Amino acid sequence: MRVGNLTRTAVMMGMLGAVLMTSGCSWFRRGGKTVDSTGDDMLQPGPLPEDSSVIAGREAGTGTRITDDPAAKIENVLFDYDSYQIRPGEMPKIERAAAFLKGNAGVTLVAEGNCDERGSNEYNMSLGEHRADAVRAALVGMGIDGGRITTKSFGEEKPADPGHGEAAWRVNRRVEFGFYR
């Protein structure tokens, strides 16, 4: 799989190189498949070359996500519109997550914050992070080592329900528990 990808990348980079050498002009004029109404070409460069670097501080969530343990299946914590406040009725879910972490010493948690589709994507990324952080803070308040929990926002990018009404929005304003071992 990996070798296949590398081979394909190498072939595409080679093709790109050939196009570059023949055209000799700036990047936005390189050849490719026509996709727009003006008749111009779209670059098909393949995966971007990238500097490899280790992301430090994200040890939590680097193992395998636990999907086979019923105790790890905890309902999503739901939120009000434009709010990161944990409603009292949602606290039992967080308590169950705390109990699971206490009973499984090697397990780490990624608290995944999400928003409904309304509003600014950027603000929703921030709001989703704030929701995840609120859940993390609640867990730390229950005696869980904060080093076992990392937060991750998807903003409005990963709805649980792809619909567009209040019913979908209600379940999309959430924090999901992702346990890793």
Partner 1 sequence: MARVWGLIAAAGLMAATRTTAQVEIVKPGTERTSLSLTEFTAAGGNSAQVFRRTLEEDLKRSGCFSLVAGPASLMIQGRCGDAGGTVTADCRVQNRAQGKEVFRKSYRGEAAGARRLAHTAADDIVLALTGQRGIAGTRIAMVGLRGGRKDLYVCDADGGNLTQISRDGAPCLSPAWSRDAQALYYMSMHRGFPDVYRVDLGSHRRNPIATYPGLNMSPAVSPDGRRLALVLSKDGNPDLYVMDLGTRQLTRVTRSRQAAEASPSWSPDGSQIVYVSDRAGSPHLYVVAASGGTERRLTVRGRQNVGPEWGANGLIVYSSLRDQCYQICVADAGGEKDQLTKDYADHEDPSWAPDGRHIVYARSAGHRSGLYVIDSEDRSEVGLPLTEGSWYSPAWSPR
Choosing from 2, 3, 36, 88, the residue that interacts with partner 1 (CB under 8 A) is 36
Question: Residue 84 or 169: which CB sits closer to partner 1?
Answer: 84
Cα angle 166-88-92, degrees, rounded to a multiple of 5: 100
Residue selected from 43, 99, 160, 168 as contacting partner 1 according to rule CB under 8 A: 43
- The answer to whether 177 touches 108, Cβ cutoff 8 Å, is no
CB 86, CB 56: distance < 8 Å: no
In angstroms, the CA 158 to CA 156 distance is: 6
Looking at beta carbons only, is 151 or 172 nearer to partner 1? 151
Is residue 22 near partner 1 by the rule CB under 8 A? no
Give the shortest CB-35-to-partner 1 separation in angstroms.
5
In one-letter notation, the amino acid at residue 70 is P
* Closer Cβ to partner 1, 53 or 64, answer by number: 53
79, two tokens: 């939120």
Dihedral through CA 11, CA 13, CA 18, CA 19, nearest 10? 120
Q: In this chain, which of 4, 49, 88, 143 binds partner 1, going by CB under 8 A?
A: 49
Among 1, 67, 106, 122, binds partner 1 (CB under 8 A): 122
Closest CA to 29 of 41, 37, 17: 41
* Of residues 102, 149, 103, 156, the one with CA closest to residue 128: 156
The residue among 54 and 70 lying less far from partner 1, judged by its C-beta, is: 54
Candidates 23-31, 64-72, 93-101, 165-173; binding stretch for partner 1 (CB under 8 A): 23-31
Binding site for partner 1 (CB under 8 A): 23, 25-29, 35-51, 53, 55, 57-58, 82, 84, 119-123, 125-127, 129-130, 133, 150-155, 157-158, 164
